[in-house]
Amino acid sequence: MERNPLRRQLQIMRKSLFDQGYLDEQFVQLEELQDDSNPNFVEEVVTLYYRDSARLILNLEQALERKPYNFNKLDAYMHQFKGSSSSIGAKKVKAESTLFREYCKSGNGEGCMRCFQQLKKEYATLRKKLEAYFQLARQAGPMETACRPK
Amino acid sequence: MSSASSSAAWKSADSVPDQFPAGLRVLVVDDDPTCLIILEKMLRTCSYEVTKCNRAETALAILRENKNGFDIVISDVHMPDMDGFKLLEHIGLEMDLPVIMMSADDGKHVVMKGVTHGACDYLIKPVRMEALKNIWQHVIRKRKNGWKDLEQSGSVEEGDRQQKQSEDAEYSSSANEGNWKSSKKRKDDEDETEDRDDTSTLKKPRVVWSVELHQQFVAAVNQLGIDKAVPKKILELMNVPGLTRENVASHLQKYRLYLRRLSGVSPHANNSFMNPQEETFGPLSSVSGLDLQALAAGGQLPAQCLATLQAAALGRSTAKSSIPMPLVDQRNIFSFENPKLRFGEGQQQLMNTNKPINLLHGIPTTMEPKQLTTSQSIGNINMQVASHGVQSSQNNSALINMQVASHGVQSSQNNSALINMQVASHSVQSNQNNSALMQMGQPQFARAPRLPLSVGQPIISNGIAASYNPVPQSSSMLNFPMNHASELPGNGFPLGSTPGMSGCTSKGTFQEDFNSEIKGSVGFMSSYDIFNNLNQHKPQNWELQNVGMTFDDSRHSNSLQGNLDLSQSVLVQQGFSSGRMSGQNRSAAVVSKAMFSAGDSTEPGNLLNVSQHLNSLPVDNTIRVKTESVADVNSDNLFIDHFGQEDLMSALLKQQQGIAPAENEFDFDGYSLDNIQV
């Protein structure tokens, strides 16, 4: 257990992210890639993800404004979004993406719209939580952030 | 693959250095920046050398610039500028590197698509480190397989051809050194033909004449005009990066042979192979009318065959060698399997395609690239196709089987051996042989039977000429359609047709038929190639092949007189065997038998069986099958001699002409023939 209160806090925060299902094992993979040569690797990747996925969210918004829905297009966008989200371990967001694609496949426009709203919420929530996490990590000390407990 | 350069560790196929797999050069392609950066980091952590790019076009450019700069490629499936599978195909064709696909999509059909397009692995996103750690195995595996192929094909490149067999030596001795890796169709049938550069012993990236590429080629040729189509201009029109003038030239050669075959234009001397016979190819496809499918396949095949042929032609050495080498194995596969395939499939197919070839001249269109794959179905010649590996088989099915072999290397080889008209297997050869075979249709064949037998293998080796020798008279006759007619005489394709041919009106028909047959034979050839390879070692194969052929002939032969049309042609090819025998078809069985006797007697059984099948097959179809049988026969004898060095075609040509084996002639390998759809 970490002596340093900040680090301990960090650990608790991290654990809760996993326990509450916001993050999955893939996030751990990212953490493992972080090393001395890339001390902020995870944060960098997540930042990149949010930047890129914002574009996809915008595309989806626009596509959902055009009726009738072009389900193929929606599905394609969501497929990309799902790929990115799963790469960083965004569990809930990924689940919503999968659901959205199901609705697309069955041509359920209503379902798509509802699902998309939920997805945006989860996406925003995760972003906030991760931002807080990284901020704390920077405060707690670079080496220990996002590292597996030794 | 030319792993050359870089990582020495990776180059040695068999030895694995200590730090292995460190230093593996990976190219990662993914439009998702998040995934890309993660993958890069993961791969770096595995001690690999990573290059990343987010566009498929960029990736291809990088690969082309740096032909030997990478060991493996990892690509996403869904990309905005190019479909991942398309990229996969391109890479396989042009650089022959192992490609791993990845996607968040784990649906079965997508994974299957990856498999069929030749991906060596499929990863589901999110990708984990563990999955990436072992990607080096694909590199090693591919290398090993490639070497084996090389060895088999007799390519001298790697130097350590353990498997090199004597046959290979024969074949590969000169002509095709290139890295002829038997590119099993990666996929699915198509596409994977490889064009081997002719650089001897240098592993050069093979150019695979995929259907698409071939179509581009054909479009360019048509635009320029058959007469004016020169490799340089074609290359310019095609505008395919990474394609060299040599690639185009060899492909063109094959194509020309193919056209000749189709049109039955007066056979140019063996040179014709090399001559731009574009037109001939066109008609050939029509010939395939036998089986439009076949044609389609053939058509496809042509593309592919051409590709193969090309590859064969270019690489020739490999093609040929490939055939012989595994001869034993291949043979078995082809001779035996094919017959089976053929019958089952071929029968159906035969029926379809048996259409009178005469018309086909213009028809090649039916052949669709897809068909290539079907060609296999046709079974008829499938055998042949197999010889070259991917390509031949394809062609074979659809077309007359014989043709399939046309791939150039394959077909020619096979063809010769089989005598089957095989078509073109060498394209060059096939023509010749085919003619001989074609003769079969003619009643003359009666004589033909003699030939093969007496000659047995030796004849076959000539491709067809060999066998025909005994019947020299007919041989010249028959070949007509193929233009080769002139060639035949040299070869003496005894097919027997000649004797009859002259007298027969069928001759005229044959012409057409021949074209078609030639096509068919081409198909055979291809099969023959396979067989040749096989035969090389085992004459028997040849017999089998013939068998297939003969049957058709028998059927047709009866109608020969009347039917000279395709069936005949087909028969001819196949009929060779049969033609020989009974002159028209009947002897198919006989021929095959004869063949067997000529060849190894061991196989006779096979042939006979084959023939039996053939007989049962609808007349039309028979032809298809035949090709295969022919290949079996003596092909060893016949072809082996020639092929060793050059393509079968040349070998055949030589035979026919009595010239020393002309190596160059067979460059056509791929085209042999007929199937090539123009």
CB B549 within 8 A of CB B421: yes
Tell me the per-residue pLDDT of B514-546, one tens digit each, with 9 for 90 and over: 333 433 333 344 334 444 444 444 444 443 334
Stronger pLDDT, B108 or B470, i.e. the higher one: B108
A88 and B CB contact within 8 Å: yes
Token pair 């595994």 is found at B326
pLDDT band for position B311 (cuts 50, 70, 90): very low
pLDDT band for position B329 (cuts 50, 70, 90): very low
- The pLDDT, as a whole number, for residue A146 is 53
- What is the arithmetic mean of pLDDT over B130-141? 89
B323: tokens are 């055939």
CB contact under 8 A, B128 and A84: no
CB contact under 8 A, A79 and B126: no
pLDDT band for position A114 (cuts 50, 70, 90): very high
B436: tokens are 């001989």
- The pLDDT, as a whole number, for residue B19 is 62
Give the B window 45-84 contacts with A, CB below 8 Å: 45, 76, 78
- Helix H, strand E, coil C: the string for chain A is CCCCHHHHHHHHHHHHHHHCCCECHHHHHHHHHCECCECCHHHHHHHHHHHHHHHHHHHHHHHHHCCCCCHHHHHHHHHHHHHHHHHHCEHHHHHHHHHHHHHHHCCCHHHHHHHHHHHHHHHHHHHHHHHHHHHHHHHHCHHHCCCCCC
Three-point CA angle B192, B529, B446, nearest 5°: 145
- The pLDDT, as a whole number, for residue B225 is 85
- The pLDDT, as a whole number, for residue B206 is 64
Three-point CA angle B354, B358, B363, nearest 5°: 80
Closest by CA to B117, choosing from B147, B75, B87, B80, is B87
Residue of chain A whose Cα is closest to the Cα of B37: A45
pLDDT band for position A86 (cuts 50, 70, 90): very high
CB contact under 8 A, B128 and A29: yes
Q: Is B662 left (phi over 0), alpha (psi -120 to 50) or beta?
A: beta
- The pLDDT, as a whole number, for residue B668 is 44
pLDDT band for position A82 (cuts 50, 70, 90): very high
| Cβ neighbours for B430, distance < 8 A, ≥ 6 positions apart | B257, B261, B402, B403, B405, B406, B411, B412, B415, B416, B421, B422, B423, B424, B463, B518, B521, B522, B524, B525, B526, B528, B648, B649, B652, B672, B673, B674
Q: Is B39 left (phi over 0), alpha (psi -120 to 50) or beta?
A: alpha
CB contact under 8 A, B41 and A87: no
| Mutation site for B-interface testing, chosen from A24, A25, A29, A78 by largest number of B Cβ within 10 Å | A29
CB contact under 8 A, A29 and B32: no
Three-point CA angle B597, B317, B271, nearest 5°: 85
Average pLDDT, chain A: 89
pLDDT of B82 over the 60 cut = yes
- The pLDDT, as a whole number, for residue A3 is 62
CB contact under 8 A, B126 and A38: no
Which residues of chain A make contact with B31, given a CB cutoff of 8 A? 80
A54 and B CB contact within 8 Å: no
pLDDT band for position A122 (cuts 50, 70, 90): very high
- What is the arithmetic mean of pLDDT over B505-511? 38
Which residues of chain A make contact with B80, given a CB cutoff of 8 A? none
- What is the arithmetic mean of pLDDT over A44-64? 93
Please name the member of A38, A52, A76 whose beta carbon is closest to the beta carbon of B34.
Answer: A52
- Helix H, strand E, coil C: the string for B572-615 is HHHHHHHHHHHCCCCHHHHHHHHHHHHCCCCCHHHHHHHHHHHH
- Helix H, strand E, coil C: the string for B605-660 is HHHHHHHHHHHHCCHHHHHHHHHHHHHHCCHHHHHHHHHCCCCHHHHHHHHHHCCC
Query: How many inter-chain contacts (A to B, CB under 8 Å) are there?
Result: 58
pLDDT band for position B152 (cuts 50, 70, 90): low
Which residues of chain A make contact with B126, given a CB cutoff of 8 A? 26, 29, 83, 86-87, 89
CB B570 within 8 A of CB B623: yes
Would you mind telling me the total number of residues written for chain A in this entry?
A: 150
B162 and A CB contact within 8 Å: no
Between the CA atoms of B266, B270, B271 and B273, what dihedral angle is there, to the nearest 10 degrees?
80
- The pLDDT, as a whole number, for residue B149 is 61
- The pLDDT, as a whole number, for residue B262 is 66
| Cβ neighbours for A105, distance < 8 A, ≥ 6 positions apart | A71, A75
pLDDT band for position B75 (cuts 50, 70, 90): very high
Stronger pLDDT, B234 or B520, i.e. the higher one: B234
Least confident of A95-99, A111-115, B420-424: B420-424
- The pLDDT, as a whole number, for residue B18 is 57
The reported pTM is 0.42
Least confident of A88-92, B162-166, B451-455, B655-659: B451-455
Please name the member of A44, A87, A89 whose beta carbon is closest to the beta carbon of B35.
Answer: A87
Which residues of chain B make contact with A33, given a CB cutoff of 8 A? 38, 41-42, 45, 129
CB contact under 8 A, A44 and B37: yes
- The pLDDT, as a whole number, for residue B151 is 62
CB A10 within 8 A of CB A140: yes
Closest by CA to B437, choosing from B410, B414, B458, is B414
A84 and B CB contact within 8 Å: yes
CB B165 within 8 A of CB B191: no
| Cβ neighbours for B81, distance < 8 A, ≥ 6 positions apart | B31, B55, B56, B57
Tell me the per-residue pLDDT of B551-606, one tens digit each, with 9 for 90 and over: 333 444 343 343 333 333 333 334 333 334 343 444 433 333 434 333 343 444 34
Please name the member of B31, B42, B126 whose beta carbon is closest to the beta carbon of A86.
Answer: B126
pLDDT band for position A115 (cuts 50, 70, 90): very high
Closest by CA to B627, choosing from B510, B507, B546, is B546
Residue of chain B whose Cα is closest to the Cα of A38: B41
